[in-house]
Amino acid sequence: MNTIKLNTQFFLVKFPILFPIIYALVLYNFPQFETELIIITILFLAETHFGATWPFLLDRVNYEFIKSNRISLISVPLIIAFLSILGFFLVKEFFLLIFFAANMYHVTRQSFGIGKLYCQDEKEKKYQEVLIYITNFIFFIIGILRFYFPVINETNIFNVNLAIIGLLLFFFIWYWVKFSFTENFLIFVTGCIIFYPICFVNNPVHAIIMGVTMHYTQYIYFTYNVSKLRNENQTNSSKSFFSIKLNNYLAIIILYSVIMSILSLFGKYDDEFLKNLILIPIIGQMLHFYLDSQLWKFSEKHNRTNTLTYLKKIVL
């Protein structure tokens, strides 16, 4: 990959920097609309991305795969849901820390995975992997020290930013010199800066969703297009009622997003029952983190046949 192609895939997958920029511009120029910004982002990007897991999993090409992997694809998700309920009510702060860690690990895995799709040079892939993991681990520690144990505060956050910016510039210049300026470089930059908002936002919600808007668009783009290619490849015209419903990818993720976004809003209520309903979308997100680790695991022959095959056709 030596040239930069300014197409839909570039702006949604390879370098979707426009989304966090728009988010930041609205947040800092119109702070009175902070709540509305969060709601709109959750509704149109975050929860639609979480919802995309379900039509992707329950596609009829996966029926036999699910049956033969009942423990990993049915039992374990039920256990995760049960443990999430216990954690939320018994050790809430610790559970939310686990949730934060799972979120960051999941996003980091995808960032590196997308780099692998486009990069052909093994040394370049290894460079991307190591530095994306190092960078995001540093952001994870900063997130803990800012929002869980407030060691990093207003007096030292400026110095933290100077150090992080210096480190990132060093990584980027080194990459540029070693591998040249290509789309791979921009994909690498995306994976490294996706959690940078942790270093400057005051509300942890923005730390989670501002940069991760790039992750959302990447995921929606790939799941939609893989689902579309799967459907086009179906040779069996007989469909059950259940599979017909599941084939409507957009309807499912929109319905899921609306329901989960409404439940997320209840977290701001004073009523204890309504406030605790936020647990439902949190469980959905925890299941998303786990199920994706199974659905995009290409050591599985089934996933190579029914997902990776189509990904290679999509990648430009």
Residue 53 belongs to some domain of the structure: yes
The predicted pLDDT at position 26 comes to: 98
How far apart CA 113 and CA 265 sit, in angstroms, is 32
Q: In terms of C-beta density within 10 A (0-12 exposed, 13-18 middle, 19 or more buried), how is residue 95 classed?
A: buried
The predicted pLDDT at position 172 comes to: 97
Residue 251 belongs to some domain of the structure: yes
Mean pLDDT taken over the chain? 93
Q: Which amino acid is at 93?
A: E
Asked if 113 and 292 touch (Cβ cutoff 8 Å), the reply is no
Helix axis angle for 279-295 and 76-90, nearest 10°, is: 150
pLDDT digits (tens, 9 = 90+) for 165-183: 999 999 999 999 999 999 9
The neighbour count for residue 257, using CB atoms within 10 Å, is 22
Residue 230 belongs to some domain of the structure: yes
Distances (CA, A) of 107 to 166, 180, 199, 289: 23, 25, 17, 9
Domain count along the chain: 1
pLDDT digits (tens, 9 = 90+) for 210-221: 999 999 999 999
Which of 64-68, 107-111, 226-230, 270-274 comes out lowest in average pLDDT?
Answer: 270-274
Residue 184 belongs to some domain of the structure: yes
pLDDT-derived band at 2, boundaries 50, 70, 90: low
How far apart CA 213 and CA 47 sit, in angstroms, is 11
pLDDT digits (tens, 9 = 90+) for 224-264: 999 999 988 875 544 544 444 445 788 899 999 999 999 99
Residue 235 belongs to some domain of the structure: yes
End-to-end C-alpha distance for the chain, whole angstroms: 9
Residue 3 belongs to some domain of the structure: no
Residue 154 belongs to some domain of the structure: yes
How far apart CA 287 and CA 289 sit, in angstroms, is 5
59-65: Cβ within 8 A, 24+ apart? 59/227, 59/230, 59/246, 59/247, 59/306, 60/234, 60/239, 60/240, 60/243, 60/246, 61/230, 61/306, 62/295, 62/302, 62/306, 65/302, 65/306
- Domain ranges, residue 109: 8-314
Residue 51 belongs to some domain of the structure: yes
Per-residue pLDDT, averaged over 150-171, amounts to: 95
pLDDT digits (tens, 9 = 90+) for 54-95: 999 999 899 999 999 999 999 999 999 999 999 999 999 999
